[in-house]
């Protein structure tokens, strides 16, 4: 249970931190209007990602509002939020993305997705950096 509490604390702190100056007004996304009350499939997550990713890339604040959404699954959060870690840092996301009105169950699923995404993309970036270094070193011979 302590692990679950730590995950929930992590997600809460990640998405509720104070924000610094960013570009333009906040984009408010009502998830229920885009995907309905069940956030389960990766296709639904893709719809959210397609709306929020361009805004986040130009450093626009995004409020992702889950009011009225009752059911969550990791494929949805992987597609909607987890993929953001591929090209946006966790620190930037903490400043730009605010998640609102998520149930406790949703927060739990989201916390697991964020933890896995952060690790996955950081390992990928490290692996890429090592490979590039090896290629540069090998081309010197």
pLDDT digits 0-9 by tens, 64-115 = 999 999 999 999 999 999 999 999 999 999 999 999 999 999 999 999 999 9
Q: Kindly report which listed range (61-65, 80-84, 125-129) carries the lowest average pLDDT score.
A: 125-129
- Residue among 97, 18, 98 nearest 57 (CA): 97
Predicted pLDDT of residue 135: 85
Note the helical H segments in 16-41: 31-35
pLDDT band, residue 2 (cuts 50/70/90): low
Give the three-class secondary structure for 62. strand
Q: What is the pTM of this model?
A: 0.75
How many domains does the chain fold into?
A: 1
> Using CA atoms, how far apart are residues 127 and 114, in angstroms rounded to an integer?
20
pLDDT at 125 over 60: yes
Domain extent for 70: 2-139
pLDDT at 23 over 70: no
């Amino acid at each position: 249970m302590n692990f679950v509490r730590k995950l929930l604390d992590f997600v809460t702190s990640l998405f509720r931190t104070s924000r610094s100056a960013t570009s333009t007004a906040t984009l408010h996304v009502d998830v229920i209007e885009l995907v309905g009350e069940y956030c389960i499939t990766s296709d639904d997550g893709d719809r959210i990602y397609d709306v929020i990713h361009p805004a986040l890339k130009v450093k626009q604040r995004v409020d992702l509002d889950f009011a009225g959404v009752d059911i969550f699954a990791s494929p949805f959060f992987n597609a909607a939020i987890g993929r953001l870690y591929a090209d946006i840092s966790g620190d930037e996301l903490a400043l730009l993305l605010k998640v609102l009105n998520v149930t406790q169950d949703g927060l739990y699923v989201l916390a697991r997705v964020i933890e896995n995404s952060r690790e996955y993309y950081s390992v990928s970036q490290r692996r890429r950096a090592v490979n590039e270094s090896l290629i540069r070193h090998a081309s010197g011979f």
